[in-house]
Amino acid sequence: MSVSIRRWTLCLLLSMSGPLSLAAQCDGNPGPDGLTWNFDEGENEGFSLFKALGDLFTPEMIKDTRRIRAYVRDERFGVLLRLCGDMRAVDALYQKALKITRYSIPRALFLSMMATLEHRNVDVKLPVLGAVGLPLTFEEDSLFAARRRSLPSRLYPDTPEGGQGDKDKLQHFFASAYIAYVTESRDVARASGNFVEWGEAQFIVGGVDDPRDARANKQGERFGHDLITVTNLLPSDYFNFHVDD
């Protein structure tokens, strides 16, 4: 069955199952059709001897990154995002990262950042050499494009219209959350975020010091720091927090 046929089948089943099914799926429990956020992203891959052998020599973090990115690319993630909304999708992504990492919060925050990188590479301005491309991910072009398309984008009331929306704010949020958690310091996370924003404006081709990036950084700082004492928090609790300019 082709990807497009499977996608339309999922949409048809969900539309026929009614509001009770939708509530169940958005809460994380399976609806009558069995669809839930907690799906197995690798269940359709089948067994590969070469992949199994390769996994023996692949670092755990790389394997985990592949898994969380496959989860975001999966058509079921896109169907549920459209039904349940972008904020629910952000929470589901983080919860999946927790499950993959056996509920290690710092590793889950790092995986969430890796899952939401929305630049394949950046061009860095260097003296004499000029613009030099720096890769941020080594995904295949098709896999990167599919994952990027699937990222939640409607994060704020002032999210710009269009397909891009605020997809780039997710990487800012989770990177800041990770730094704040592992350093146990919002100040360190704030300094790191400010340095990145300054460096982006100074050294990245087309880069600007964006106050909306800074807002996502500060919200992520608070999320990561609060997770130190309250471990069951979710990202959606923080995207609506007002932060000081």
On whether the pTM is more than 0.95, the answer is no
Q: Which uninterrupted H or E stretch holds 193?
A: helix 186-203
**Angstrom distance (rounded) from CA 202 to CA 126:** 10
- Residue 173, pLDDT score: 94
Exposed, middle or buried by CB within 10 Å (0-12, 13-18, 19+), for 17? middle
Q: Would you write out the chain's pLDDT as a tens digit for each of its 245 residues?
A: 454 555 555 454 444 444 444 454 687 676 666 678 888 876 555 555 556 555 666 889 999 999 999 999 999 999 999 989 999 999 999 999 999 999 999 999 999 999 999 877 656 666 665 665 666 677 889 999 999 999 999 999 999 987 789 999 999 999 999 999 999 888 887 787 776 666 565 555 455 567 888 899 999 999 999 999 999 999 999 998 887 75
- Dihedral of alpha carbons 91, 97, 103, 108, sign: negative
- Residue 199, pLDDT score: 58
- Residue 21, pLDDT score: 47
Tokens of residue 71, six digits: 């989860």
Tokens of residue 24, six digits: 């169940």
Query: Are the C-beta atoms of residues 183 and 196 closer than 8 Å to each other?
Result: no
Q: Considering only CA atoms, which of 197, 200, 228 is closest in space to residue 211? A: 197
**Angstrom distance (rounded) from CA 203 to CA 127:** 10
Q: Considering only CA atoms, which of 214, 213, 211, 220 is closest in space to residue 174? A: 220
Q: Where are the domains of the chain?
A: 22-27+47-237
Region label for 59, one of left (φ > 0), alpha (ψ between -120 and 50) or beta (otherwise) = beta
- Residue 17, pLDDT score: 46
